[in-house]
């Protein structure tokens, strides 16, 4: 009887856990649809940063973001963004085959696309270790969902408004104000490259004072911007 009682309690616990998971899953999908039109009120990364660095953030509309910033982030992070389905499979295969001696080599673009980064920023959490592998399945799901529901323009819009760009600084408007005392709409090409160069570690790769990494990378980004600026699909996403 005792064994049956324990088994029954465990079964009820599992069923309750499953119901909670299903409810949270449904709510997250409703939230995903709402975010097609409404910016996320707060992300996990923003929340966790608040207690140590504060929160500097000012969401702006698509037309209030300089085309230079849109071009710079694609040039730096994901040059195939207009063309892929959320995943750059060739870059992913390349990153998985890279041996340990080359794993720290700096690459301008990598396996993690802007769509993946946006899904992670809005719906999931940052960090490496074991939690990184736990995150992979939901990251895949939310990446595909925002590709289907939001579309490329909205993904880029949300990314530029929510990505961390300095200690406690989130989004291009807050970054432009903090680093250059101007709105994101008026950022020059060089300034855009400097802001984007702080990715993927804006707490270490600082814009002001300018770290050696940012000093090198922003010049690389400028060259990449020149290389892709006349691509019709890229141009369509910078307007």
pLDDT in tens, 65-76: 999 999 999 999
Q: CB pairs under 8 A, 24+ apart, for 173-179?
A: 173/58, 173/59, 173/60, 173/64, 173/65, 174/56, 174/57, 174/58, 175/207, 177/56, 177/58, 178/56, 178/208, 179/207, 179/208
Q: Is residue 55 part of a domain?
A: yes
169 and 175 Cβ atoms separated by less than 8 Å: yes
Backbone angles phi, psi at 45, to 5 degrees: -65, -45
Q: Is the pLDDT of residue 77 over 80?
A: yes
184 and 60 Cβ atoms separated by less than 8 Å: yes
Backbone angles phi, psi at 166, to 5 degrees: 155, 165
**Residue, of 92 and 222, whose pLDDT is higher:** 222
Q: Average model confidence (pLDDT) for the chain?
A: 87
Number of independent structural domains in the chain: 1
124 and 130 Cβ atoms separated by less than 8 Å: no
Q: Is residue 38 part of a domain?
A: no
Q: Is the pLDDT of residue 139 over 50?
A: yes
Structure tokens at 28: 């997250």
pLDDT in tens, 148-206: 999 999 999 999 999 999 999 999 999 999 999 999 999 999 999 999 999 989 999 99
Host domain of residue 171: 50-99+108-236
**What confidence tier does 3 reach under pLDDT thresholds 50, 70, 90?**
low
Q: Is the pLDDT of residue 127 over 70?
A: no
pLDDT of residue 39: 95
Q: Is residue 191 part of a domain?
A: yes
Q: Is residue 14 part of a domain?
A: no
pLDDT of residue 178: 95
Q: Is residue 148 part of a domain?
A: yes
For the chain, give the number of residues: 239
Q: What is the mean pLDDT of residues 114-129?
A: 86
Q: Is residue 201 part of a domain?
A: yes
Q: Is residue 211 part of a domain?
A: yes
Q: Is residue 30 part of a domain?
A: no
Q: What is the CATH number of the domain that holds 160?
A: 1.10.3810.10
> What is the gyration radius of the CA atoms in the chain, in angstroms?
20
């Amino acid at each position: 009887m005792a064994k049956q009682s324990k088994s029954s309690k465990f079964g009820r616990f599992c069923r309750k856990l499953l119901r909670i998971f299903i409810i949270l899953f449904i709510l997250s999908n409703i939230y995903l649809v709402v975010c097609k039109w409404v910016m996320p009120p707060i992300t996990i990364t923003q929340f966790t940063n608040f207690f140590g660095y504060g929160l500097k953030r000012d969401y702006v509309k698509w037309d209030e973001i300089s085309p230079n910033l849109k071009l710079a982030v694609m040039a730096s992070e994901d040059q195939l963004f207009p063309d892929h389905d959320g995943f750059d499979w060739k870059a992913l295969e390349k990153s998985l085959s890279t041996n340990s001696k080359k794993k720290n080599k700096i690459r301008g673009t990598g396996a993690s696309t802007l769509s993946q980064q946006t899904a992670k920023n809005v719906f999931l959490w940052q960090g490496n270790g074991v939690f990184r592998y736990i995150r992979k399945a939901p990251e895949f799901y939310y990446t595909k969902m925002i590709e289907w529901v939001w579309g490329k323009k909205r993904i880029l819009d949300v990314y530029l408004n929510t990505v961390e760009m300095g200690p406690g600084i989130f989004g291009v408007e807050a970054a432009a104000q903090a680093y250059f005392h101007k709105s994101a709409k008026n950022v020059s090409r060089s300034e855009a490259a400097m802001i984007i160069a702080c990715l993927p570690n804006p707490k270490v790769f600082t814009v002001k004072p300018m770290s050696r990494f940012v000093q090198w990378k922003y010049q690389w980004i400028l060259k990449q911007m020149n290389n892709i600026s006349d691509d019709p699909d890229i141009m369509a996403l910078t307007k």
